[in-house]
Chains A and B, each alone.
Chain A
């Protein structure tokens, strides 16, 4: 069955370190999205991609970057981790503009 996976599921890092969160989908979807989930804020969009070599900034993109070198993967990089980036991160993918998004299980990141 097609799926979307994230790794690691839990990560503890220190302020200032670079961190990369992986997202891999086997749906063959063109669209991929990264969100962060924080209490009281719901889900907020960080970055998104509509296809290979395409990346776009979302609502809360400062301090984050993504790259899309193939259809299956959209890694999220925190260039210099900050305590404010402690959160749960979700990756999602969708087939097209009128279809639902499928979500990964999430990565819980703690920045000390």
Chain B
């Protein structure tokens, strides 16, 4: 069975500071991993995804994530936070054997202080 744990329901950083949002997963099959972003009163947008190949994945808006199998982690980072990054971020893992069902973490709300 698959599961996703996002550490920290709320993260606050200063503008220009490093953003680090943590995601750990469990999966009985090689994982397909996703990060989504949700701005207020909107649906979810894909930031980036890991399927196979390179373990460092680059996404939109300067975000990237590294797949670390030994640590079962897929943490999301951005070197320098912008005010526009304030949103809720969700990590998700594909359900093995499904036609693309995802299991989502509970989300991390990112606040950016000026």
Given contacts A41-B106, A97-B94, A98-B51, contact A103 B44 (CB under 8 A): yes
How many chain B residues have a CB neighbour from A under 8 Å? 23
B99 and A97 form a contact (CB under 8 A):
yes
Binding site for A on B (CB under 8 A): 9, 32, 34, 36, 41-46, 49, 51, 90, 94, 98-102, 104-107
Cα-based distance from A22 to B98 in the complex (angstroms):
24
Do A97 and B98 touch (CB < 8 A)?
A: yes
B100 adjacent to A42 (CB under 8 Å): no
Dominant SS at the B interface? Answer: loop
* B45 in contact with A103 (CB, 8 Å): yes
Q: Which of A43-51, A60-68, A73-81 contacts B (4 or more CB under 8 A)?
A: A43-51
Q: How far is the CB of A61 from chain B (nearest CB, A)?
A: 13
Contact, CB under 8 Å: B100 / A43: no
**Does B104 lie within 8 Å of A96, measured CB to CB?**
no
Q: How far is the CA of A43 from the CA of B49 in the complex (A)?
A: 18
**Listed residue (A50, A92, A101) with the most chain B CB atoms within 10 angstroms of its CB:** A101
Q: Which of A48, A97, A106 contacts B42 (CB 8 A)?
A: A106
Among the interface residues A30, A41, A99, A102, which one has the most CB atoms of the partner chain B within 10 A?
A: A99
A90 interface neighbour in B43, B94, B106, Cβ under 8 Å: B43
CB distance from B41 to the nearest CB of A (A): 8
Q: 3 smallest A-B Cβ distances: which pairs?
A: A103-B43, A42-B106, A103-B44
Given the contacts A42-B90, A90-B43, A97 and B106 also touching, CB distance less than 8 Å: no
A42-B90, A100-B34, A100-B49 in contact; A94/B43 too (CB < 8 A)?
A: no
Partner of B99, one of A40, A45, A50: A50
Find residues 21-51 in chain A having any chain B CB closer than 8 Å to their own CB: 30-31, 33, 40-43, 45, 48, 50
Report B-chain residues with C-beta under 8 Å of the C-beta of A50.
99
